[in-house]
Structure 1
Amino acid sequence: MKPFPFLAGLVLLSGVAAPGVVLAGCGDTLVTEAELALLLPKRYACAADARPEWGWKYQELHLESGILRDFKRGSGDPVDPSKDVGTWRIVGDAVHYSYQDASGSSGPFIHTVHGDATQGYSICSGGSEVARLQDDLGGGCTAGAAKQ
């Protein structure tokens, strides 16, 4: 995955959802530094494709090591397996994402995480939701899954 399309895709997808996915705004409670350290590892940033029938455009798993892994079709898929695409780190109350590809790296792209009692957690940029967080249940993002 190339870094610019990823970021542009997330910004453009702020109001688009896969079937069964409810996207929320980012006006709710900001998740702070200490909470982020507990919240992000082993969770996916799930961004829907512009065409809901296509499912998920990005399914990026936050590994505890600070690596960001794109699920694609899963680690066992012979055609489109999961692969490491960048890194993430917490700086204050924000998450800094950097991406690597054959041409080098880009970033950091700075996002905040916001939570609410009923909808779970949103990854936000400029006050708009760009992705939702979901637990890693071994199969990437799932439409309609409870947001944790």
Structure 2
Amino acid sequence: MVFRGLALLALVMGPGLVAAQERGPVTNLPLPRYVSLKASEANVRRGPSLTHRIDWVFKHRGMPLRVTAEYGHWRRVQDGDGAGGWVHYTLLSGARTALVRAQMLDMRARPHADSMVVARLEQGVVARLEECGQTWCAVSADGYHGWTPKSALWGVGPDETLE
């Protein structure tokens, strides 16, 4: 069954428990999902075609974005502030990144609050996601590698894990 161009896939989670997982009609990948900006510049359009007006331009390679819809070669995306529009799929990458939301975020040697601080990341830094558990994510930024609380990042779902 298709609703507004999005297919619903019912996933059986156990005896009698069912959760609806939206899937993109083009890629069959989950919606919403996180991606990153592959290009150094990407026109963000009002609709899914070259004839639609450009509302603004994303200008930060690697910026995490959340895909909320698909239409042909176009993906509707949102940034960490909720601003969004349609971009061509060739401008996006499956490489996972995250945006630091905390004023100053300690990157730690291990996924524990008492672990040694290896670097401090300022708000707005884009870090590469390497792994995420329930509460901590392994990230890298500017040659530093370490662990940060997942709750201080935008670009990974609260219940999402990455290996």
Same fold (TM over 0.5): no
Looking at both structures, which has the greater relative contact order when contacts are Cα pairs under 8 Å and sequence separation is at least 6?
A: 1
As a proportion of its length, which structure holds more strand? Answer: 2
Larger Rg: 2
With normalisation by structure 2, the TM-score equals 0.24
As a proportion of its length, which structure holds more helix? Answer: 1
